[in-house]
A and B are shown apart, each in its own frame.
Chain A
Amino acid sequence: QKEVEQDPGPLSVPEGAIVSLNCTYSNSAFQYFMWYRQYSRKGPELLMYTYSSGNKEDGRFTAQVDKSSKYISLFIRDSQPSDSATYLCAMSAWGSGGYQKVTFGTGTKLQVIP
């Protein structure tokens, strides 16, 4: 079993829809939870991060973490064609040597149809 599971999609939604992207994980040691956005033929870029359970909002994006269920979500409100990308969840925990060890999900490909 992978430490981080993510549905690969693809997910296709009409413009203006609310999008929900999810990941589950098995490692209780994960402390930081991140969402990266990757446009086609580009490197991933950090979109949002959270440290604790609960919600964090940034404009049209909301990141949600439920540590008791080992489940994280990213919600996109009023989705736009420019949101079309692959979204990767990532989680980190302290590894040996005092460094953060980051584990990525496989990514969900999102397409927003105008």
Chain B
Amino acid sequence: NAGVTQTPKFQVLKTGQSMTLQCAQDMNHEYMSWYRQDPGMGLRLIHYSVGAGITDQGEVPNGYNVSRSTTEDFPLRLLSAAPSQTSVYFCASRNGQSYEQYFGPGTRLTVT
């Protein structure tokens, strides 16, 4: 049982480049989320999904796209990277009716 996995662990992008952060979970959780964590800002919700084919915006969705074609996978796409998107990105999953979230190890993204 791998839990929540994220790839890559580190990434450096140039302004304007696009990329996809991968997230997968093997716990059959219906609810998956993407957060970014910045110093002094805590965890901020970017997008979330309550099941395959269903996604919605969180607190800071601009500049990011998501899709959920399977229960296991929830990729996050940066359309045109900006320095303001330099952050640590965490994917999390849980049962929809539960409060307990399981987090992945994070992706450290730097945009120059």
Contact = CB atoms under 8 A, between A and B. Distances in A.
Contacts of A6: 42
Contacts of B90: 43-44
Contacts of A90: 99
A104 B96 contact: no
Contact of A100 (B42, B97, B103): B97
Interface residues of B, number: 20
Contact of B42 (A42, A46, A99, A106): A106
Given A104-B43, A106-B41, A44 B97 contact: no
Nearest to A51: B99
Interface in A53-96: 88, 90, 92
B40 A98 contact: no
A100 B94 CA distance: 10
Size category of the binding interface on chain A: 20 to 34
A79 to B, nearest CB: 23
Nearest to A89: B42
Contacts of B50: 97, 99
Q: Closest 9 A-B residue pairs measured CB to CB?
A: A43-B103, A106-B42, A32-B99, A92-B99, A104-B43, A99-B96, A44-B103, A100-B99, A104-B42
Interface of B: 4, 31, 40-43, 50, 90, 92, 94, 96-101, 103-106
